[in-house]
Amino acid sequence: MMRIAVVDDDEKDAARVRDLVDKYYQGDSSQYALTVFADGEDLLCDFKPSYDMVLLDIEMERMDGLTCARRLRRLDADVVIAFTTNMAQYAAAGYDVNAVGYLVKPLRYYSFALVMGRAEEIIQSKRGVTLWLADGEDRVAVPSRQIDYVEVRKHALTFHSGQKAYGARGSLKEYAAQLCEVNFYQCNRYYLVNLERVQAMREGGLLMRNGDVLEASRRQKSGLMQALNDYYGIR
């Protein structure tokens, strides 16, 4: 899932960005989470590094987008930044924040999609790790972002990915040390879940995107809910 912040003091322009994001993901809202901020100060207030991408309008009254981007970069070295602007001459600015692109208003889908594609490539290169897991007698490379959850039963590890299951040697603790750095959360001694693959909280436990329901106590779900809030940038 792509976590996107849109910073624009013009409601119509912000709505246009939202529409373009939805079009880019073909109307599948499970592929992205989008939060709109009216200006840079609202974004930076109590900021936590939880967004994959920030789309910043350059011309804003309280704090311009370039100033916001420079302050943002000091708080988060990895977030992808792209600018929107009414004035084409700004497209040469902002190299010091390593912006991925500049979009001149009125925004057009083709140029927007190109910037989104570049952003996704950068984000995917930073997000996740590759695990070598057992698939029958073979060992295969599986990106961590494709794993729904890891389960341990009787000292046996199973990595669930959609309707497939892979095995591996080692302990859940060893894999937690590696995977909790890339948006996994150990909700109890049996499960290590990919936060991006949690679909819903239910009375009986957690509903994962592959359809599996994992048991979790109320206390365990409370800790997971906090982890999900941090992941999606919910305050």
pLDDT recorded at residue 186: 92
**Per-residue pLDDT tens digits for 50-82:** 899 999 999 898 888 999 999 999 998 889 999
- Give ∠ CA 201-174-213 in degrees, rounded to 5: 20
Q: What is the SS3 assignment for 157?
A: strand
What residue has token string 């899932």? 1
Q: Is the peptide bond before 143 cis (omega within 30 degrees of 0)?
A: no
Does 226 have pLDDT greater than 80? yes
Q: How confident is the model at residue 183 (pLDDT cuts 50, 70, 90)?
A: confident
The whole-angstrom separation of Cα 86 and Cα 90 is 9
Q: How confident is the model at residue 33 (pLDDT cuts 50, 70, 90)?
A: very high
CB atoms closer than 10 angstroms to residue 77: 9
pLDDT recorded at residue 93: 56
Instruction: Look at the chain and count its residues.
Output: 235
Q: Where are the domains of the chain?
A: 2-126, 130-232
What residue has token string 């329901």? 213
Does 229 have pLDDT greater than 90? no
pLDDT recorded at residue 94: 55
pLDDT recorded at residue 12: 96
Domain 130-232 has CATH 2.40.50.1020: yes
CA nearest neighbour of 182 among 219, 231, 141: 231
* 181 vs 213: which has the higher pLDDT: 213
Contact 193, 187 (CB under 8 A): yes
Contact 73, 22 (CB under 8 A): no
**Per-residue pLDDT tens digits for 205-218:** 889 989 999 988 77
pLDDT recorded at residue 42: 93
CA distances from 50 to 90, 98, 140, 170, 205 (A): 27, 18, 30, 30, 25
**Per-residue pLDDT tens digits for 126-138:** 778 889 999 999 9
Q: What class has domain 2-126?
A: alpha beta
Q: What is the SS3 assignment for 62?
A: coil
The whole-angstrom separation of Cα 52 and Cα 32 is 10
